[in-house]
Amino acid sequence: MKQMFKLGLVLALYATAACVGLAFVYSGTKDTIARHEQAALEEALEELFPDGDRFEDISGTIESPGGEVRFESQYVVRRGDALIGAALRSSGAGYGGPISILVGIKTDGKVSGIKILSISDTPGLGANAASPGYYVDKASGLTFYGQFSGKAASDAFEPKEDVAAITAATITSRAVSLIVKTSAQAGAAWLSTQGGVK
């Protein structure tokens, strides 16, 4: 009994030391992680709007209709003083956990493009949603995420109808489509109040 108590005490001390060590590592790296995430976000914004020269954070301005899709942050995109679009960082449930997507919407109500920021779905299946090497139309070089560029906010965004689904990953295809559709509709509605999307 005394030996078990001793082993338990030693184990508790090691666990405590490990937790304290992890806390120090986290506090020392959280700023670096935040800077990397911000740099990745800025790069994604520039990728969706290569002609934009100013991205203003307007988080909290565009409200999610609720339900399955959450808007984490929002940005207005300008070229000089001209409004050229909006970008919403949105998330929803995928097959393997949350999916986070940056969706760009132009002032004509069309999707400028999407960037999948994080996805934890099955590698080789649902994770193909973010893969630049997974083509839904290999002849034209069209990727799964690339097919959303140019779609109107009023489109159906329905897998196996106007969205080519990922083979054996219908849940992921539906989740991504829902996030993009909800973001496009909300972004286009907001842009229409700002003089865009007639």
Give the amino acid at 42: E
β pairing state of 135-137 and 111-118:
unpaired
Q: What's the pLDDT at 111?
A: 98
From residue 20, alpha-carbon distances to 6, 8, 15, 27, 30 in Å are: 21, 18, 9, 11, 15
Task: Check: pTM over 0.85? Answer yes or no.
Answer: no
User: If pLDDT is split at 50, 70 and 90, which confidence band does 193 have?
Assistant: very high
Whose tokens are 């829902």? That residue is 178
pLDDT of amino acid 16? 81
Residue 56 and residue 78 in contact, taking contact as beta carbons nearer than 8 Å: yes
What is the helix (H) or strand (E) element at residue 104, kind and residue range?
strand 98-106
Rounded distance, CA 110 to CA 106, Å?
5
Whose CA is closest to 85, among 38, 117, 45? 45
What are the tokens at 70?
């959450």
Tell me: the pLDDT tens digits for 72-129?
A: 999 999 999 999 999 999 999 999 999 999 999 999 999 999 999 999 998 888 999 9
Return the pLDDT at 26.
64
Given a cut of 70, whether residue 198 has pLDDT beyond it is: no
Instruction: Give the model's pLDDT for residue 32.
Output: 77
Residue 96 backbone dihedrals phi, psi, to 5 degrees: -105, 5
